A and B are shown apart, each in its own frame.
Chain A
Amino acid sequence: MIELRDVCKYYQVGDDKVRALDHANLHIYPHEFVSIIGPSGSGKSTLMNIIGCLDTADAGIYLLDGMPIDAYSERELARVRNRKIGFVFQNFNLIAKLSAEENVELPLIYQKVRRSERARRVREALEQVGLWERAKHLPTELSGGQQQRVAIARALVTRPSLILADEPTGNLDSKTSREIIGMFHELHDQGNTIVLITHDDKIAHEAPRILHILDGRVTEVQP
């Protein structure tokens, strides 16, 4: 499903070349719930960007659903992000001037889904996160937990191959965090593939499988 082979990514910081990913290898199978844990500066964000097709690797091979993403053009990457990946970010990243409903609808518009079909799927996704009655509200009118649920609905609505969550509970209190994590379990039970990136041990251990990243290398953590 997701396969990284010897993926490298470098950044130029002043005169130094920093290796954010150093021959990283990993394999994630369909319907898995995997968390990737690592301290800040470990290459976590870079890994997430590459898995999320937001950035491309400098070396190595990345296969998503068996397709070599590293050879894709920017336009194709946008398409892959749209159809195969649902993002959940730490700071929710909802568009402030659009209502909950419109935020969830946006990826479907980019997919050119018909209006009636869009309405049906938006409702489905919002009902799944329990926020249908808040559909018309703007993000600013929602609590942090609610905003994150809208973001999850937005990730779900395209029925992606992979839900990629980057510190999804980072901006939430512990009670709300538990709710969100509960939601990920629920999504996992429904058969979604989930990759959760975090620096928090406790959150990481919610997932059945944990990968550890340090200095740009990925290692399996035995439970």
Chain B
Amino acid sequence: MRSLIMALRSIGSNKMRSALTMLGIIIGVMALVVLVSLVNGATGSITNAVSGLGSSVVTVNLYDTTKKPVTLEEISEWQESEPALAHIAPYKTDTLSARRFENFGSATVYGVTAAYKDAQALKLTEGRFISAADVKNHSFVCVINETMAEKLVGYTDCTGQKIKISGTEYTIIGVLEAEENNLTAIFTAGQMTAFVPLTSLVRLSDSVNLQISQFYIGPSEGYTLDETADVMERILLDRYQDDEDAYRISSQNILEDAMGKVTNVLSILLGGIAAISLIVGGIGIMNIMMVTVTERTREIGIRKAIGASRGTILVQFLMEAVVLCMLGCGLGIFFSWGILRLVSSVVASTGLVFEMNGSVVVTAVVFCFLIGIIFGLSPANKAAKMKPIDALHYGG
């Protein structure tokens, strides 16, 4: 406590120099806290946006379809027996020709069931999606995206119009909204895409049959993705007699995971750069402490003459370095807080929120403390090692 007061007085006795020395630490702390908080804030908003993309589904791929293929009926059984699997959406896809009068092109056609809409969080601008009855009746109805509507029909409010897919006449019952926040909408934008009943696609395409090889499981109320994946895993293990290679279940929220990785890397990268500037600040402290020790050689001599031991002197100068670092750290955190407030208010309209990240503040404090110790040690040791007579006779 006593040495703390002494250190503060010593720092206070040369305010300009102390302030300049602390500047390095202040800037370093600000860089660390502000950059990491900004990345985290941006990540938060991006993650929120990504979550809305309907990417939180369990994806299941089946590889062993020949011996004992999964059928639509079996899926219906799962849906009825397991509440977690209420929204299984099997699908098949093929690229087929599409035509309306003189307009034609190749379109990606998805054979789906009614559950696909919810599993992929699709939104329609017009009409309705494929219904269970459509699947049951092998109906020749389709939902198309806006690109397809514009290319084939010429306008988007085109429900009730008829188009030909692979030569078979289909009635348009709905138009997919070209939404910014939907993964399917993003992936299909710019290319002609149609959704038809799975049972109906089987009749159009030679390569598609009713053996299900991949499906999504949309979120069911009361179940997490992992729980859903566990239920599915149990059923499939049982079905394939513990052959784990027969299927693959990925419950990861793939996009969010990818985003998380990117922003983590970004955080570490920026944090690393900030850490370097903190170390540079630490070197500044060491430099000034060296000067201080030299300047105060006589004081050290006097203190030693009247009985200060090596340890006492060491602690005194180490304390000064640490206090200098911690003051700089505190100021840096304070300024960071101000900057984050400012940035938040400037970008308030975009909905981005930048808050000070608690863990980065703790990191900054710990880091500053360590820097104080590490870079204070060598000057303090230099002071402690001085011989009292040499120190007393220094400069008079």
CB distance from A109 to the nearest CB of B (A): 7
Q: Count CB-based A-B contacts (< 8 Å).
A: 62
Chain A minimum-CB-distance residue to B2:
A109
Q: Are A82 and B388 in contact (CB under 8 A)?
A: no
Taking CB atoms, residues of chain A closer than 8 Å to B301 are 93
Q: Are A55 and B389 in contact (CB under 8 A)?
A: yes
If A49-B389, A54-B388, A55-B389 touch, whether A93 touches B309 (CB-CB below 8 Å) is no
Q: Are A110 and B312 in contact (CB under 8 A)?
A: yes
For window 280-311 of chain B, which residues contact chain A by CB distance below 8 Å?
A: 298-299, 301-311
CB distance from B105 to the nearest CB of A (A): 86
If A54-B392, A91-B396 touch, whether A74 touches B308 (CB-CB below 8 Å) is no
Q: Are B392 and A93 in contact (CB under 8 A)?
A: yes
- B9 on interface, CB distance cutoff 8 Å: yes
Chain A minimum-CB-distance residue to B14:
A97
Q: Are B10 and A97 in contact (CB under 8 A)?
A: yes
CB distance from A18 to the nearest CB of B (A): 15
Q: Are A110 and B389 in contact (CB under 8 A)?
A: no
**A109 to B301 Cα, complex, angstroms:** 16
If A49-B389, A55-B389, A93-B298 touch, whether A106 touches B306 (CB-CB below 8 Å) is yes
Among the listed A79, A81, A83, A111, which residue makes an inter-chain contact with B305, where contact means beta carbons less than 8 Å apart? A81
**A52 to B298 Cα, complex, angstroms:** 17
- A75 on interface, CB distance cutoff 8 Å: yes
- A71 on interface, CB distance cutoff 8 Å: no
**A79 to B306 Cα, complex, angstroms:** 9
CB distance from A79 to the nearest CB of B (A): 7
Name the prevailing secondary structure of the B interface residues.
Answer: helix
- A221 on interface, CB distance cutoff 8 Å: no
- A145 on interface, CB distance cutoff 8 Å: no
Q: Are A107 and B310 in contact (CB under 8 A)?
A: no
Q: How many of chain B's residues touch chain A, expressed as a range?
A: 20 to 34
Q: Are B308 and A110 in contact (CB under 8 A)?
A: yes
Taking CB atoms, residues of chain B closer than 8 Å to A109 are 2
Taking CB atoms, residues of chain B closer than 8 Å to A184 are none
Q: Are B302 and A93 in contact (CB under 8 A)?
A: yes
- A87 on interface, CB distance cutoff 8 Å: yes
Among the listed B10, B303, B309, which residue makes an inter-chain contact with A106, where contact means beta carbons less than 8 Å apart? B303
- A78 on interface, CB distance cutoff 8 Å: yes
- A154 on interface, CB distance cutoff 8 Å: yes
- A142 on interface, CB distance cutoff 8 Å: no
**A95 to B297 Cα, complex, angstroms:** 11
Taking CB atoms, residues of chain B closer than 8 Å to A54 are 305, 387-389, 392
Scoring B301, B303, B310 by chain A CB atoms within 10 A of each residue's CB, the highest score goes to B303
CB distance from B1 to the nearest CB of A (A): 11
- B66 on interface, CB distance cutoff 8 Å: no
**A153 to B135 Cα, complex, angstroms:** 104
- B81 on interface, CB distance cutoff 8 Å: no
**A97 to B11 Cα, complex, angstroms:** 12
Query: Which 3 residue pairs of A and B lie closest in terms of their CB atoms, listed nearest first?
Result: A82-B307, A78-B309, A110-B307
A-B residue pairs in contact (CB < 8 Å), sample of 17:
A54-B305, A55-B388, A78-B310, A81-B305, A81-B306, A82-B306, A93-B301, A93-B392, A95-B302, A97-B10, A106-B303, A107-B306, A109-B2, A110-B308, A110-B312, A111-B307, A158-B307
> 16 other contacts beyond A75-B309, A87-B306, A107-B307, with CB at 8 A cut-off?
A54-B305, A75-B311, A78-B307, A81-B304, A81-B306, A82-B306, A82-B307, A87-B305, A91-B396, A95-B303, A97-B13, A107-B306, A110-B306, A110-B308, A110-B309, A154-B306
